[in-house]
Amino acid sequence: MRGSVALPYVRGLSEKIRRTLTSHKINSYFVPQNKLRSHLVHPKDKIKPEDTSGVVYGVPCMNCNLIYIGETGRKLGNRIKEHKKDVEDHMKGVMTRSSRMSQSNITHKSAITDHAIKENHTPNWEAKVLKKEGNINKRGWQEAITIRKTGNNMNRDQGGKWLPHIYDDLLEKLCRKDYDVHSTDVIIEVNCRD
């Protein structure tokens, strides 16, 4: 024998390949496809969500089932730090002046800050990467579509792109999503074909 190769197991096909290889004096063995993947892809190759740039992201609330959806071309971790600082700065002001009621009537920088102050809720700063898209224009549309498709978002508007409401029915038919914010597996997809 001249050596051996690992074959992903595909019923009906892998046996034929194996016979051909054997006739060429090459040993082969079958591995399930997911096992092959785990051999080839090392966990250290995975980029952490906070180090990923060019994303549509979600920040779930720890106290209710709403999620904030945004986009950034920069590292997600840096954008999240800004959101966090904004919330903390406003919260400090609220605490020291004991004027949560009057603060809550002001429209803050982002919908996360608004939600945190009005409801006295805490965002989960371990943000989720919902879509990766390097192109700023495409990412804007992805954000608008994600917001429109997500039933339980806390966004005030639909992001930087104006998606006509004529698409609502279509988006609803293609894919209606709710995000399970308290699960590590964030997405519950209903009726999804994309």
61 in contact with Zn ion (CB under 5 A): yes
Closest CB to Zn ion among residues 21, 154:
154
Structure-token pair, residue 47: 């980029």
Q: How far is the CB of 155 from Zn ion (least distance, A)?
A: 13
Q: How far is the CB of 154 from Zn ion (least distance, A)?
A: 7
Q: Count residues near Zn ion (CB under 5 A).
A: 4
With CB atoms as reference, the residue minimizing the distance to Zn ion is 61
Closest CB to Zn ion among residues 58, 140:
58
User: Are 112 and 121 in contact, with CB atoms under 8 Å apart?
Assistant: no
The one-letter code for the residue type at 140 is G
Closest CB to Zn ion among residues 61, 117:
61
Closest CB to Zn ion among residues 63, 158:
63
Looking at the DSSP assignment, which residues form a beta bridge with residue 55? 72, 132
Binding test (CB under 5 A) with Zn ion, winner from 100, 118, 121, 131: 121
Binding test (CB under 5 A) with Zn ion, winner from 14, 63, 103, 152: 63
Query: In Å, how far are 8, 26, 32, 65 from 19, measured between CA atoms?
Result: 15, 9, 18, 55
Q: How far is the CB of 103 from Zn ion (least distance, A)?
A: 16
Closest CB to Zn ion among residues 84, 121:
121
Question: Could you say which DSSP state residue 153 is in?
Answer: B
Closest CB to Zn ion among residues 51, 126:
126
17 in contact with Zn ion (CB under 5 A): no
What are the φ/ψ torsions at residue 128 (nearest 5 degrees)? -105, 140
Structure-token pair, residue 134: 């390097």
Structure-token pair, residue 109: 């920088």
For residues 83 and 155, give the distance between their C-alpha atoms in angstroms, rounded to a whole number: 14
Binding test (CB under 5 A) with Zn ion, winner from 26, 31, 64, 175: 64
What are the φ/ψ torsions at residue 46 (nearest 5 degrees)? -75, 135
Beta-carbon contacts of 2 under 8 Å, excluding residues fewer than 6 positions away, are 24, 25, 26
Q: How far is the CB of 128 from Zn ion (least distance, A)?
A: 16
118 in contact with Zn ion (CB under 5 A): no
Question: Could you say which DSSP state residue 157 is in?
Answer: S
The residue ranges that bind Zn ion (CB under 5 A) are: 61, 63-64, 121
